[in-house]
Structures are given as C-alpha cells and as structure tokens.
Amino acid sequence: MAAQKLSRIVHGFLAKWILLPGAIMLLIGTVIWCGIEAQGILHNQQDTTTTLGRFVANYLQDCEEDLRYIASRLEKKANFPEQIRSLLKHKDHFQALYLLDSQSRVKASVPNGSRIRDFSGLLSDLPPQPASMTTAPYYSGDAKTIVTSMIAPARDNHLVLAELNLKSLQEAVRAFTNQIPNGQAIIADAYGNLLAHPEMAQVNRQTNLGHLDILADLPQGQTSSTISLVNDRWSLLSATTVPGKKWKILIKQNAFALFTPALWPVSLSFAALATMLLLFALAAQRRMHKRVIIPLNALNQEIDRLTQGAEPAQAGSPAESVLGNSFTELSRLHENFRDMQNAIWDREISLWENKEHLRITLHSIGDGVITTDTEGLLTSMNPVAETLTGWTEAQAKGHHIQQVLRLTRENRTTPHLDPIQEVLQTGEIRDLPEHAQLHALDGHVYSIADTAAPIRDTDGRLVGVVMVFRDETEHVRQDALLKESRERLNLALEAGNIGLWDWHVQTGAAIINANWAEMLGYSVEELQPVSIQTWRDLCHPEDLKMADGLLTQYFNGELPMYTCELRMRHKNGHWAWVIARGKVTEWGDSGEPVRITGTHVDITDRKIAEDELRYMSFHDALTGLYNRNFFEEEMHRLSTSRAFPLGIIICDVDGLKLTNDTLGHEAGDQLLRTTAKILTRTFRREDIIARIGGDEFAVLLPNTDTVTLKSIVKRLRQVAEEANDQDPALQISLSIGYALNDGTQSNLHTTFEHADNAMYREKMQQEKSSRSAIVQALTKALEARDHVTDGHCDRIQDSVLNLAACLDLSEKDKNELLLLARFHDLGKVGIRDDILFKPGPLTEEEFAEMREHSRIGYDIARAVPDLSSTADWILKHHEWWNGKGYPLGLKGEDIPLPSRILSIADAYDAMTSDRPYRKAMTHEQAIAELKRNAGTQFDPELVRKFVTIAPFIPESIAGA
C-alpha cells in the first residue's frame, strides 16, 4: 500500500510540474505559430483585393476622362461628331454612346441603329445636375448582355450615356482568379449586383451579393476580411471599395484548402515536441522510481518487519533478545491502538459518506428543500431553494420560515399561506393550494407546488418540518399559452372562414361547424342530419370520382394526407371551389380508418384569379387576340393533327413606328386595335388569330385549300379599305404574306417562314406608298387640329412664291418652298390639344413643349421620302437672325434660306389671322412689327424685299 501511495505521489508530481506546464507551453507556441501563418495569408489576400481595386479605379478614371472629352465636343451640335465616332472605334472603354435630352430620350447613338430609345426608367433617380456617375447594371438589347453605363452632363441639359465595355474588367477578374489559389475575384456595384465574375453566366443572371455582411457593412476606403459559410463551404473573404467610387471588390478563397498547407508543418512540429515531452517525462519517472521509490519502500519494509516483532539484523545476543520481546509487546499495543483508530476512522468515514450522500441528493434533486425546527426557524436549504427564494443558506439559517418563504395565493400580494405552521400544529402532511405563488427576495414571483411533512425522531417525537416545492412557473405559463392558443385558433377559424368536419368512416355520420355550412350559403341546421351523403350530394359530379380516388389512396397509405380541390354547389346555385384537407385521427384494430378530421377552405377567388392569369398567359392584353406563346403551341399541336391542308397568313402593320413617333403611342395602340377588329371580322371562327410581335399578326387556317386562302386574303384587303374609308384620319396599311402546307411535310415552321418572307417582299414593294398614305393621314389630322382650313397654307404659299421670284430662285427651289409652306407645321400633330388650343398665353413649360413641334415635324419628314428634302428646313424655320431662336440657336446665314423666307411669311400670316388667345392685326400693324424685328428675329434684307413686293401693302407703309 505504501509503495502504491508513493508511486501516485511521484506520478502526480510529474504530471503537475512537468507534463502540464510543458503541454501548456507547447499549445501556446502552436497557437502563436498558427496566428502568424493566418496573418500572412490574410495580408496576401487583402493585398490582392487592394490591387484589383486600384486597377478598377484606373479603368473608371480613364472612362470618365474619355466621356468628359466626348461631352465637351458636343457644344454646338445635337449629334456625335465624326471624330467621336472614330474615337469609339480606337478606344475599347465604351461599346455604345447615347445622347439623351432632358427627358432621358435618345437623340443620337453610336453605333447607329440602336433599339434603345428611352433611358428614363434607368435614370429616374438622377440628380438635377449630375456629375459623372455610373448606373446599376441592366440588360442591353443591343449588346445582348448585362452592361452598366456611365453618365456625363452635356450642353442644354443634355446627357451623354456610355455603355461601358466590361470585357477589360472581365479579363482582369479572370487573370486575378488564375493567380488566386482555390478562389475567385468578383466586382460588384454599391448594391451588390455582379459586374464581373470568372463565370459570366453569374453576371447575366443578375446574381446579387448584397446579402453578404462583408459587402453590406463595408466602410468606404477600407479593406475588410472575414471567414464565412458560402455555398456550404467555409471561405476566407476580403472586400474593399474602389477608390473614389461605390463599386466593391470581393476576393473569395476556400478556407480549408488555403490553411491546410500551413497547418501541416505546425501539426508535425507539435507532434514531434509532444513526443519529446513524453519521452522526457518517462525518463524522469524511471529515474525517480530508482532513486526515490525503491529506497523508501525498502525502509518501510524494514519498519514493518521490526513492528511485527522480527529480530534486528544483528541478532544473537541475550540483550537483543529481551529488547526483541519488549518490542513485540509494544508492537501489539500499537496494533490494538491502530485497530481502534481505524474503527473510529471507518465510523467517521461512513458518517461522512452518509452525510455527503444526503448533501449530494439534496443538491441534485430538482425540487427545493427546506427544513425547520419546531419553532419554525430555518435549519437547512438546498441550492434550488436558494435560487427560488433569493436567500443563501448562510443568510436564511435562524430566520423564521415566513421571512424566507413568502407564499400567497394567485393574484394576491399579502403573504398568508403557512403550510409549515399547519404541520407543526397538526403533525400531518399538508399540500399548498393550486396556483400558489412564491415571492423571492429580489421581487421575482414564481408559481410553485408544495408539500410540507413532519420530521420525527426514533421515538416518534416531532423535531422539525421538511418542505419540498418545485417551480411550476413554466408549466403555468404553458397552460396559459395553450389556453390563449386555443382561443386564437377559434378566432382564426372564424376570421379565416375555415370549415371543420369530422367523419366517422364506418357509420357515415359527420359533424361540421358553422363555417363549413356558411361557405355554401347554409346554416348547420339546414343541413341536418349531416352525413357523408350530405357531402356527396353537394359535390360536383365530375369532382366526386376524383375525391373518392384520393381518399382511397390516402387510406391505403399512398398519400401522406388527403388533399383535394373540388367544386360544391352553393345554396344560390353557383359552384364554389373549396380545398379539402384531412387526416385519420383514429384507426381500427385491423388497420381500417375509423375517424377522419379535416378542413374546408373557400378558394373560389383563387380559382377565378388562376383562370384570369391563364387567359392573360395566352392572350395579348392590347388587342384581346391570342399571343405568340399560344400561337407556337397551336402550331405544334396542328402539326400532328388532321388539319391539313393548313394555311398561314402573316400581316404587318405598316408605319406603326412612325405613327407612334408622330401621333403618339395611343394612336399606335388604336391602330393595332383596329387591325385586330379587321382580322376578327375577316377570318372564320375556327381560324387562330394571334398578335405575334409589336406590329405583326399571324393566322392559322386549318383545312384550307389554295383557292380559299387567296379568297380570304382578298377579303382581308377589302375589309381594310372599308375601314380606311370609314376613318380617314387613321389609315391602315397591311403588308400580307401567306403560304399553304398541303400535309406533305409536318414542319409548320417552314411554312411560317415562307409566309413571313412573302410578307416582307410585299412590305418592301409598298413601303413608299404606305408612308405617303401616312403623310396624308397626318395632313388630315393637322387640318383637324390647326388652321389649315382657313387658307393658312395657301396664303403662305403665295407669299413665299412672290419672295422666291424676287430672289430669282429656280423652279425646283420654288417647288421645294411650296412643299415646305404646306408641311412646315406637320409636327403639331404631336402636341396636346390643351396646349394647341389654349385661349390664353402659354406657360414656360407649355411653350417648351410647343417648341418641340419643329423636331417632331423634322422626324416625320425625314422618314417620308417625298418630304425628306424639307426636313432640315422644317427643323430650323423658327430660328432667329440674332441666334435666339429654337431649337438649335442658329444665327444669320447659318439658317437655311428657305427657313428664313418661311419664317417671314408665316409670322405675317399669323399676325393677320385670329388666334385662340388674340385677335388679328391689321396689315399696317403686321408690317410695322416685321420691320421692328428685322435684324433680330428676321433676315433684314428679306424683310425689305417682302415689304417691297407684297401687293397688298399700301405705298405709304412700303416706302417707310
């Protein structure tokens, strides 16, 4: 025993003073080493992030400088000079340029032919005077990819918008990604929208990284790093902002793959040092065993031998024999004393163990335990009782129980419950009433359950009371929540109009609530007696078979739950849609269903919405005809049917864009609606008519031969002409192509292409005539909205002819002047009636809109070959001699001669004619006004000649 005790002491010393300190120092060193390695990895990633940010900043700075240069070159012209177009070819920063007016509409673009005409949605949040800035990414129909734009202000509230060529950034991201082990480089805008990614598909899908905390909370100009779980992988992330911009750079690397190479040498070094430490401890243990334990064991053995009466080592002399006997007696006395001491020690140990067992039991029990003496003074309490009362055992000992254990009934604050006093008085066990409350020392109130019992000695005398109580607060709270939940459930069922039903499968009896009956217009009493037959009688016959099948599948275990959408007859006669859900709540001994309980929810509104959505998915919202999706499905369906021979007709509405640009989109929409009505009147009921594009319609004609197909096309043209005769102001011109598939080939797409090609051939042949028809329609619209019917154009034509004769202009120039005089106000068809016919002076905003008529007229004339020669003169016929006119602010002879001639004739006729806002001037007043404005508004030499040759001007004024 002594040897084992010595061995434990030695081993404890080695563990406490050698192994433990060595292990701690080894662990600290390993942690420091790992920290240094991690810091190096983090610095490398942050340096890469900063480098990429500087590259992007330089790229954006170059873009800004080029864009400001382009904006500076637009001082005089509302178009891009040729050198800017050349710049775009030699610079790869921009892939497209747009010149925008103050309404964000496209006025010019490079390259030409852009389909984007309006950026108002993209620039809706632009400040009044924006500096150079970048936009959020968007899909470009021209570039066929996701792009972002940079904007710079130009003259006259114009903006220059450049679509950035992100290929440089994409290549930079790929290059950085190739240099980053197990990682990616990413560029995003201020809102987390991807701008560049190693996988371009991520950019095209408009992936947003705004949910990453490192990007959302990124300070400007700083680099942040973190380890985060991304796509189920722990990744090391570093992010920074582009200097001077709101774009963000993100570097992502696989944390496991990144740190593994650094952890290997650390782990191997740790293992080697730990092995050395263990070998050192083993050597120390063996040396101490040899030098300390063995000698001490030998000494203990010798003492034990002498204690047991053994003779000394040098035995043989009589004195030594007597001494040996005396030693034996002493040994026996010592042994008896040791036995008595051991017995006392064993008794104390047993008593201590029993006491410790009781203490552990009281400390381990989940209930509070308090004991008192016969006076009601507290003698002990366990930790649970300390927690609930707020008293420690040291504080509470000697205090009366009512001071420590303050008990009341629920919702009462005055202590009056004293179960311990009742036990002391009666000697019987007492329980607390339900919902008793314990008021702790800190003011907290607990709901408790309590039992008090007497403590008696071996003679049966009462020596104290033990009270056991437990915390029922959570149980009481859960009961209250359960009660509240039940009340809320009942309210939800009532408010949500959810019907409840319970069906006894074996007997057919059923129970329903009021909501179940009310959603069908009945009361519960009206449906009594309720059974499964009641439900079957109300179900739609077509849905009943489906519901029975679903119930059978559920009962057979094929479905986790019975769910069925079906129609049920309402009391007023219509069919109401409900969704029924149910589960078996009781099964029989043989596995058969006994009871099933479920709900009914009225989904009629949802079904109506689904029908409307289904209609919208296959119909064009503007015309009410089928849309392209339905047309494609019908082509596929008819290609495998017996509908051959099958004809396809393609119709294109000529001049729709011109109508939209001049008369407005409402007129264009009306043109499309009228075309749809013409098609509906022309074709048969079984024919499928669809709007398949902006201005394109298509018709499928099943079971149609060539003769019938041509007859229908002829009838279509006749109906269109009749519509034009009925409404001359809105002329409809259709380019029509058709083709027939006799069934020899099932591919209707080829037939569609033949019809489409035929339509385009016809469109090219009649494009000029259709545009002329549109001009005639615009002229009639102008007559309806302006003063042409008052002889305005005729008088102006007379005036310009007289002035042209005085200037010895050629016949060709005179004819062009006559055309200009007739169509110079063509752009007024695009001005609102409330401005055009306003009786009083125009406001500044209204006058700005009125001035747009010259630009509108310019666009119309340029689109029509017969008027294209006058387009530039129409644009500039409101320019002033002193450069203060509009829209370009031209000055002097920079204004074309025909525009200067027309401005004088137009001004004179306007002054001598009645207007909604004033009466006409006399001849004398008009001539005086022309002379007064000669040299400012009008060409002074032309005014002089106009006054001289005008036959209606009195000599007194002409010679003035």
Per residue in 894-939, pLDDT (tens digit) is 999 998 988 898 888 888 887 666 788 888 888 888 889 988 989 8
- pLDDT, mean of residues 119-129: 69
- Element containing residue 666 per DSSP (H, E): helix 665-682
Beta-strand relationship, 106-110 and 94-100: antiparallel
What pLDDT score was predicted for residue 960? 33
What pLDDT score was predicted for residue 658? 72
- The SS3 assignment for 451 reads strand
The residue among 113 and 436 whose pLDDT is bigger is 436
d(CA 630, CA 644): 19
In sequence order, the 6+-apart residues with CB closer than 8 A to the CB of 846 are 835, 838
The residue among 789 and 928 whose pLDDT is bigger is 928
- Ranking 127-136, 329-338, 643-652 by mean pLDDT, the lowest is 329-338
Beta-strand relationship, 183-188 and 223-230: unpaired
CA 813, 815, 817, 819 torsion-angle sign: negative
- For the cut 70, the answer to whether the pLDDT of residue 70 exceeds it is yes
State the chain's mean pLDDT as an integer. 79
- pLDDT, mean of residues 275-284: 76
Residue bearing tokens 């602010």: 889
User: Residue 458 — pLDDT band, cuts 50, 70, 90?
Assistant: confident
User: Residue 251 — pLDDT band, cuts 50, 70, 90?
Assistant: confident
The shares of helix, strand and coil residues in the chain, as percent rounded to the nearest 5, are 50, 20, 30
- The SS3 assignment for 852 reads coil
- pLDDT, mean of residues 799-804: 85
- The SS3 assignment for 918 reads strand
Burial 321-331 (b: 16+ CB within 10 A, else e): eeeeeebeeee
- pLDDT, mean of residues 801-815: 83
What pLDDT score was predicted for residue 794? 77
What pLDDT score was predicted for residue 950? 64
Token reading at 663: 């008369």
What pLDDT score was predicted for residue 715? 93
Token reading at 235: 């990744």
Token reading at 93: 């920063």
Which parts of 511-655 fold into alpha helices (H)?
A: 514-518, 524-527, 532-538, 541-555, 604-618, 628-638
In sequence order, the 6+-apart residues with CB closer than 8 A to the CB of 75 are 155
What pLDDT score was predicted for residue 397? 87
For the whole prediction, is pTM greater than 0.85? no
- pLDDT, mean of residues 350-379: 79
CA-based nearest residue to 602, from 510, 495, 494, 516 = 516
User: Residue 327 — pLDDT band, cuts 50, 70, 90?
Assistant: very low
Q: By the 8 A CB rule, do 150 and 71 touch?
A: no
d(CA 322, CA 328): 10
In sequence order, the 6+-apart residues with CB closer than 8 A to the CB of 60 are 134, 150, 242, 245, 247
- The SS3 assignment for 803 reads helix
User: Residue 512 — pLDDT band, cuts 50, 70, 90?
Assistant: confident
- For the cut 60, the answer to whether the pLDDT of residue 312 exceeds it is no
What pLDDT score was predicted for residue 75? 59
- For the cut 70, the answer to whether the pLDDT of residue 361 exceeds it is yes
What pLDDT score was predicted for residue 324? 41
How far is C-alpha 819 from the geometric centre of its chain's CA atoms?
Answer: 56
Token reading at 950: 């005008």
The residue among 223 and 205 whose pLDDT is bigger is 223
**Strands annotated E in 32-170:** 94-100, 106-110, 133-134, 138-140, 145-147, 149-153, 159-164
- For the cut 50, the answer to whether the pLDDT of residue 570 exceeds it is yes
What pLDDT score was predicted for residue 214? 74
- Ranking 298-312, 387-401, 753-767, 870-884 by mean pLDDT, the lowest is 298-312
710, amino acid identity: K
Residue 253's beta-bridge partner residues? Answer: 183, 236
pLDDT digit string (tens) for 164-202?
877 777 888 888 888 787 788 888 887 778 888 887 777
Query: Cβ of 464: how many Cβ atoms within 10 Å?
Result: 20
d(CA 134, CA 594): 69
Token reading at 771: 């545009």
Q: Backbone phi, then psi, for 651, in 5-degree steps? A: -120, 135
- pLDDT, mean of residues 681-706: 90
- For the cut 60, the answer to whether the pLDDT of residue 322 exceeds it is no
- pLDDT, mean of residues 239-254: 82
Give the alpha-carbon dihedral of 946, 952, 955, 960, to 10 degrees: -40
What pLDDT score was predicted for residue 301? 62
CA-based nearest residue to 915, from 850, 839, 848 = 839
User: Residue 952 — pLDDT band, cuts 50, 70, 90?
Assistant: very low
Q: What percent of the chain has pLDDT over 70?
A: 81
Max avg pLDDT among 135-139, 168-172, 418-422, 667-671: 667-671
387-396 LR contacts (CB < 8 Å, sep 24+): 388/438, 388/440, 388/446, 388/448, 388/469, 388/471, 389/438, 389/440, 389/441, 390/440, 390/441, 390/442, 390/444, 391/441
- pLDDT, mean of residues 303-326: 47
Beta-strand relationship, 368-372 and 378-381: antiparallel
Q: How many residues does the chain have?
A: 960
Query: Cβ of 658: how many Cβ atoms within 10 Å?
Result: 19
The side-by-side arrangement of strands in the sheet containing 575-587 is: 510-512, 498-504, 593-602, 575-587, 562-569
Q: Cα dist. 792→529, 573, 783, 815, 909 in Å?
A: 87, 68, 10, 18, 7
What pLDDT score was predicted for residue 697? 94
d(CA 411, CA 414): 10
What pLDDT score was predicted for residue 651? 93
User: Residue 955 — pLDDT band, cuts 50, 70, 90?
Assistant: very low
- For the cut 60, the answer to whether the pLDDT of residue 28 exceeds it is yes
**Strands annotated E in 355-475:** 368-372, 378-381, 406-408, 430-431, 436-439, 445-456, 462-471
Max avg pLDDT among 19-28, 59-68, 621-630: 621-630
User: Residue 317 — pLDDT band, cuts 50, 70, 90?
Assistant: very low
- For the cut 60, the answer to whether the pLDDT of residue 3 exceeds it is no
- For the cut 80, the answer to whether the pLDDT of residue 479 exceeds it is no
The residue among 866 and 39 whose pLDDT is bigger is 39
- For the cut 90, the answer to whether the pLDDT of residue 661 exceeds it is no
- For the cut 80, the answer to whether the pLDDT of residue 76 exceeds it is no
Query: Cβ of 656: how many Cβ atoms within 10 Å?
Result: 21
d(CA 149, CA 142): 13
Q: What percent of the chain has pLDDT over 90?
A: 6
Token reading at 74: 């637009």
What pLDDT score was predicted for residue 677? 92
- For the cut 50, the answer to whether the pLDDT of residue 956 exceeds it is no
- pLDDT, mean of residues 292-299: 62
Token reading at 850: 């009125």
What pLDDT score was predicted for residue 585? 86
- For the cut 90, the answer to whether the pLDDT of residue 367 exceeds it is no
